[in-house]
Amino acid sequence: MKKTVSACLALCLCVGMNVTAQETLKVKFRSRALLDTSVSGYGKESTQGYYRVEDFRVGFKATYGQYEVKADVGLGGGKVAIKDLLLNYHWGNHTVSFGNGYEPFSMDMLISTADLRFNQSAASVLAYTNSRKLGATYYYHAPHYLFCMGVYTHNDINKLGDTQKNAFVSTSRAVWRCSDSQQERLWHVGGAFSFRTKEVNTSASPEGSVSSDGVTSLFSEPLLEASFPDMGTEVKGLVEALYLAPRFMVQAEYFFDRMNRTSGEKAYRPHGGYIQGGFLLKGRGFEYDAKYGVPGRPSTAKAIELVARFNYTDMNDDRAEIYGGEEKDLSLGVNFYLNQYIGVKINGSYVWVGSHCNAFYQKNFFLAQARLQYIF
């Protein structure tokens, strides 16, 4: 039997299809790749071009009764890294998740990268969220409510070892929603709260830091960046809103952060947020994961979507005398979903560079970007 199951899994890996072993074990192998390119008039050259494989990963999802296992390995950038590595247990309206994944903070960060409206999340999302963390999360979902909470290490599984940060994070999220199935509309409002303990067992004073790449991660320097010594605890939160209709959607989040300091200096308090929307020229409806409270790509396999986003991020805090930069950006784009597997995204962003941004950014600039993606 073991040889039979192994043979089935090998065949599944080759053809990318579901297999069933002993009727209750279902395994789906999956893969995705994101190829990005951008052109900008910013920099020493009159025109600069950038391109790279932003993300390439392979993995699988297996279900056995009420158990679910998800695993993804990233192969981009010349490095091998574990992405999602989760064991989920579902019963009724409840789910418990163990492993390496995102904490429930920011619905935009929880959206699959391939389903984002733009090449990456807004600058404010990147500033006030973190990478995956190793921990446990409990979810409760009902037609009108979603609640989740979890406890995590302040590291993903790839950072455990000599470079790990010895701190813990507790994050909670609550959502209220109302849907009209006849008119295919959904209203969703909510918020999240996160607390991080002070880092311990350090040879020097813990350093606090916040950064954001802005509208692209292809440039060599982050747009916004602040760091300071004597980092203590951190408290951050957000409010979120989402509206889905047959032909358009609107999504917004506002973040606030408080990073306390052990030296008696004033706490550092950056903030920011974004609002974005999509309108379908072709196609109807948008996917929505009720279990985790996140929107997705258009519901129809073939779709054309016009998208727009305005973002504001302020990392300057006069009271704490910490200055990480301030910026505003406006992005417009069009997304072509050729089928449920392949898509093309084209967009442009204009960035207003404010005071105290990274020294690499001396003036406002426009950036055009494109992405070719597949996901199976």
Over residues 149-187, the pLDDT tens digits come to: 999 999 888 888 777 888 999 999 999 999 987 778 999
The token pair that represents 351 in the structure block: 């960035």
pLDDT band (50, 70, 90) for residue 362: confident
* pLDDT above 90: residue 77: no
* pLDDT above 90: residue 41: no
| DSSP-assigned beta bridge partners for residue 113 | none
Q: What is the pLDDT of residue 16?
A: 41
The answer to whether residues 13 and 29 touch, using CB atoms and an 8 Å cutoff, is yes
The token pair that represents 268 in the structure block: 């550092």
Close Cβ partners of 352 (under 8 Å, ≥ 6 residues apart)? 327, 328, 329, 364
Share of the chain above pLDDT 70, in %: 91
Query: Cα dihedral sign for 54, 81, 287, 121?
Result: negative
Q: What is the CA radius of gyration of the chain?
A: 21
Calpha distance 295→181 (Å, rounded): 16
Note the pLDDT tens digit of each residue in 186-219.
Answer: 999 999 999 999 998 887 888 899 999 999 988 8
Quote the pTM value: 0.89
Task: Count CA atoms closer than 13 A to 223's CA, side-chain side.
Answer: 29
Backbone angle region of 13, left / alpha / beta, with phi > 0 → left and psi within -120 to 50 → alpha: alpha
| DSSP-assigned beta bridge partners for residue 372 | 35, 344
Share of the chain above pLDDT 90, in %: 73
* pLDDT above 50: residue 10: no
Q: What is the pLDDT of residue 18?
A: 45
Number of helices (H) and strands (E), helices first, in the chain?
3, 21
DSSP state, residue 223: S
Q: What is the pLDDT of residue 48?
A: 64
Calculate mean pLDDT across residues 119-148: 95
Q: What is the third-level CATH fold of 31-53+117-375?
A: Porin (2.40.160)
Q: What is the pLDDT of residue 259?
A: 97
Q: What is the pLDDT of residue 23?
A: 59
Note the pLDDT tens digit of each residue in 293-319.
Answer: 999 999 999 999 999 999 999 999 999
Element (H, E) at 125: helix 123-128
Instruction: Give domain limits for the chain.
Output: 31-53+117-375
Note the pLDDT tens digit of each residue in 223-233.
Answer: 999 999 999 99
Q: Which of 323, 195, 340 is nearest to 257 (CA)?
A: 195
